[in-house]
Structure 1
Amino acid sequence: MVSQSNKFVWSKEITQDLCLLYENHPILYCTYAPDYKNKNKRDNALIKIKQDLIDKNAFVAAQTLTIQDVKSKIHGLRTQFFKEYNKIKCSKTSGCSTDEIEKPKLWCYHLLEFLVNSAPVRPSTSTIEEVSSSVDVSVAEELRKIKDVTILRRVKRTIFNCLMDAQDEENV
């Protein structure tokens, strides 16, 4: 199961183990942790996670798992988690009904929910002016005019996707 480039192959089981081990090391994700900025302690935590994965899974021991593999996987999981989290959070505040609220598509989303309170929320640094309340009212009025529930859902989804795309472009 090792690819041509000797890149580590992550199975669901090993990824699940990684999530659980990662949660046990708040020094790696919790900016409030006293030693969060201590690189040596963070490196030691990554080494411990790597060793625990090797000890628990014979499959991992058979491959060449590196600290960089662990770091990369954690980075990817965090990125995917927060992308899903922001979609869900945005859909909850968009006025959608409960059946229209975005559901997480990431299979290990529930394993990573500990990340939600791991860092302070920074205020937006956007230079784009806030949307005026008159525009908000106009959009709400236009949405109320749509009687067909299917079309209304499609329009809300389109608006939501446009907002998410704009947010992604702003963060680039």
Structure 2
Amino acid sequence: MTDFRTYSHELLIEFIECFRNYPCLWKIRSSEYKDKNLKFQAYNTLLEIIRKVERDATIDNVKKKINSLRAGYRKEHKKVRDSMRTGSGADQVYVPKLWYYSQLEFLNDQRQGEESADNMDSSEQDNDDSTIDAEYSENDTQSANYNVSPPATPATSIAPSARRKRQANDEIENTIALIGKRLENSDDEYDAIGKNIAAKLRNMTATQQGIAEKLINEVIFLGRFERLTFNTTIQSPGPVQEPQRPLIHIPAVPVQMQEPQAFNLSQDSHTIDISNTLVEYLTFNNNN
């Protein structure tokens, strides 16, 4: 069987959704199913998806992956039906192990006859490398055989049997639908972790929520590239201190007070005392 372990859940869901959107690949009673050009386009669209993981993939790889998905779904579907035929209650019905089982339920109407599906050899399906067209062609032949009118038998013996069979089929389909809903609503450990983180984020301020989201995304990013170790921690830097303004030191200069001195006029290294000259001038004028 094709290994899908290299596929993320998102990528495999994208592949299945794209497959479902092209009935020409699985709806054997539709007019699109016989359109080879439409099938070629569908295969190329699916090829673009798987080349995100397998760069050298071809259309043959696409067909094998489709066969693998359908084979895995049929095996799980057969187990569900077998558990229902034992008379077990709804709580004891086999729950499929494939997490994408409910995503492939659109194939229910396209499966082979009940006897053929129940007796199908699962190992042959796992190793089936034939193209999807050849596989569906076989379904076409078997479906056409069902349209052949059976030999006439008394109506009294057919009607009750057909009614019981129809009721049994309705019960089976209802139980399968119930299982599909249970699978969609079931949470694993990662869903529980996500809900726990979400509850704690709601108690934070908007700023703290943004910072926490950033750190969580960084951790997940490192984990995806296998960079996380047991020594991986988040180091919180110390409090940011505002830079201090530099202090300007101005030394104190003592101011020396000088006593007033007489006004002297210096000229050619000779000092003239104005006060004495004025006295002599006044004395000279008085004598004359």
Unaligned runs of 5+ in 1: 1-8, 126-163
Aligned partner of 1:134 in structure 2 is none
Task: Specify the code of the residue in structure 2 equivalent to 1:34.
Answer: S
Offset, 1:168: 4.7
Give deviations 1:97-140, integer Å, cap 9, x for gaps. Answer: 22221001011101111111124x43647xxxxxxxxxxxxxxx
The count of residues paired between Structure 1 and Structure 2 equals 119
Aligned partner of 1:50 in structure 2 is 47
The alignment yields a C-alpha RMSD, in angstroms, of 3.0
Unaligned runs of 5+ in 2: 1-5, 125-288
Pair 29,62 (structure 1): closer, same or farther in 2 beyond 3 Å: closer
Aligned partner of 1:12 in structure 2 is 9
Give the Cα separation in 2 of the matches to 1:80 and 1:72.
12
Offset, 1:61: 7.0
1:73 aligns with 2:65: yes
Q: 1:85 aligns with which of 49, 53, 77?
A: 77
Counting only pairs closer than 5 Å after superposition, residues 1-172 of structure 1 correspond to structure 2 as 9-51=6-48, 53=49, 60=52, 63-119=55-111, 121-122=112-113, 124=115, 167-168=119-120
Give deviations 1:64-83, integer Å, cap 9, x for gaps. Answer: 33222221111100000011
User: What TM-score, normalized to structure 2?
Assistant: 0.36
Give the Cα separation in 2 of the matches to 1:25 and 1:91.
32
Q: Which has the larger radius of gyration?
A: 2
**Matched residues, percent identical?**
29
User: What TM-score, normalized to structure 1?
Assistant: 0.58
Q: Which has the higher contact order (CA 8 A, sep 6+)?
A: 1
Give the Cα separation in 2 of the matches to 1:71 and 1:44.
13
Give the Cα separation in 2 of the matches to 1:73 and 1:170.
15
